[in-house]
Amino acid sequence: PEFKAFVESLQQEMDGLVSTMPHRLDVDFEAYNPVNFFHALRLQAPEKDEPRTLEEMGTGEQQVLALAFAHAYAKAFHGGLVLIVEEPEAHLHPLAQQWLGYRLRSQCREGLQLVITTHSPAFVDVEGLEGLVLVHKKQGQTRVYQLSRCNLVAKCIELGVPEAKVTVDNVLPFYAANATTDLLSGFFARAVVLVEGPTEVLALPRLLAKRGLQVEREGIAVLGVGGKGNLTKWYRLYTAYGIPCYIVFDNDSRDARSGNQRKDALRTVGVRDAECDQLIDTDAWVVEERYTIFGKDFEHSLRSNFGHYATLESQAKQYGIDSKPFVARWVVDRLDSHSDDPGWGKVEEMVKYLRCMIQEEKGPRVEVPEVEMVDEEDIPF
């Protein structure tokens, strides 16, 4: 009975896990050996009625098969175990990573104890954030961050959330309801730039690159949060985990006429109330150490500070590019980086502050001493 349950469980596990792949896996055991199941295991991998050998399967499929076998074996013969998986995302395309992440979370809810190391946001479970451990280097030392719900609630309150609004019961469901795969990728960044939406996500990295800051190379994630009202919640979460944050927004009053969301964002990064009132009314492009305000809006600020911006916008439309984020990216790519437009001074200020932020993470440069070369004949081993 145990063996039959194992075979059925293994088939179910594989049917679920390989559903995004071209092969269907059928389980069979030859000359059943109760001591070593792997020696008796025979798998068939038909593809459109054509039999395939396991050697023809991709490495990702083989990896998923190993996970299915381990889980089914544990359920059938041990009633459970701790499954340790190193980088489950390896050799899987993004959609397969998301599906595997979903399946693993489902299995954990059924009782599986799982420990994984990963570089993929597909395996970050927001509601299981207490089990998330961030490990990274800071100033030459290994740093580890792990927060309880109580720690996260305390950090939210410290950064401006009213005590009556945040509790240990609602804080993780709240973040889970607002999370996206892109936002979860911020946990793997050296620093995070939080912006309102897709226009800044697409255009800002290109703008910074024209002044020498390649955000991808430096480990800086530019993440759209879906509006001004979401800037502070993600600033609080990343800051709680020791990830430096920079916020970017505009003063477009159509989004929030009262200005409360903009004030909240500014207060969260340490701006005093008296300054907040002035900043939320300005049409100027303001760049400071922890934030940038694109005046009236992103496009208005760039039109005012780059002489050919409006002309390039018209050209983009002639090429059939009419979506605002795509227009902004197309135009920024074609700005003359050698011009004397005043906008380049603003971009250079942003680059300076962002470099300072990541330099704090890197720490001072360590000089490596010269190594004296030794003749091979003098090596005693």
**Three-state SS for 189?**
coil
The pLDDT value recorded for residue 4 is 67
Tokens 């090596």, residue?
379
Instruction: Identify the CA nearest to 201 among candidates 336, 298, 283, 287.
Output: 298
Q: What is the DSSP string of 341-365?
A: -THHHHHHHHHHHHHHHHHHHH-SP
What is the C-alpha separation between 242 and 137, in angstroms, rounded? 12
The pLDDT value recorded for residue 361 is 64
Tokens 């990728």, residue?
185
Q: What pairs with residue 247 in β-bridges?
A: 194, 291
Instruction: Identify the CA nearest to 287 among candidates 206, 227, 207.
Output: 207
Banded pLDDT at 17 (limits 50, 70, 90): low
Distances (CA, A) of 62 to 9, 23, 216: 18, 11, 31
Domains of the chain: 2-123 (3.40.50.300), 147-362 (no CATH)
What is the C-alpha separation between 345 and 341, in angstroms, rounded? 8
Q: Is the dihedral of CA 339, 343, 349, 355 positive or negative?
A: negative
- C-alpha atoms less than 13 angstroms from C-alpha of 334 in its C-beta half-sphere: 16
The pLDDT value recorded for residue 324 is 96
What is the C-alpha separation between 32 and 41, in angstroms, rounded? 8
Indicate if the pLDDT at residue 252 is higher than 90: no
Indicate if the pLDDT at residue 355 is higher than 90: yes
Banded pLDDT at 235 (limits 50, 70, 90): very high
User: Lowest-confidence range among 27-41, 97-111, 165-179?
Assistant: 27-41
When pLDDT is averaged across residues 43-54 and rounded to a whole number, the result is 63
The pLDDT value recorded for residue 366 is 41
When pLDDT is averaged across residues 201-211 and rounded to a whole number, the result is 98
Distances (CA, A) of 294 to 132, 190, 205, 321, 322: 35, 24, 15, 23, 21
Q: Which residues contact 204 (CB under 8 A, 6 or more apart)?
A: 193, 195, 222, 248
What is the C-alpha separation between 218 and 356, in angstroms, rounded? 12
Both structure tokens of 252: 């477009």
What is the C-alpha separation between 7 and 287, in angstroms, rounded? 62
298-305 and 324-333 helices, crossing angle to 10°? 30
Write the pLDDT tens digit of every residue in 364-375. 444 434 444 445
When pLDDT is averaged across residues 123-135 and rounded to a whole number, the result is 92
Give the burial class of 69: count Cβ atoms within 10 A of its Cβ; 0-12 exposed, 13-18 middle, 19 or more buried: buried
Question: pLDDT higher for 31 or 307?
Answer: 307
Select the highest-mean-pLDDT range: 3-12, 153-162, 372-381. Answer: 153-162
Tell me which DSSP letter residue 22 carries: S
Q: What is the DSSP string of 193-218?
A: EEESSHHHHHHHHHHHHTTT--HHHH
The pLDDT value recorded for residue 19 is 60
What is the C-alpha separation between 296 and 10, in angstroms, rounded? 59
What is the C-alpha separation between 370 and 19, in angstroms, rounded? 55
Q: Which residues contact 172 (CB under 8 A, 6 or more apart)?
A: 126, 127, 129, 130, 149, 152
Banded pLDDT at 381 (limits 50, 70, 90): very low
Write the pLDDT tens digit of every residue in 62-83. 677 777 766 676 666 666 678 8
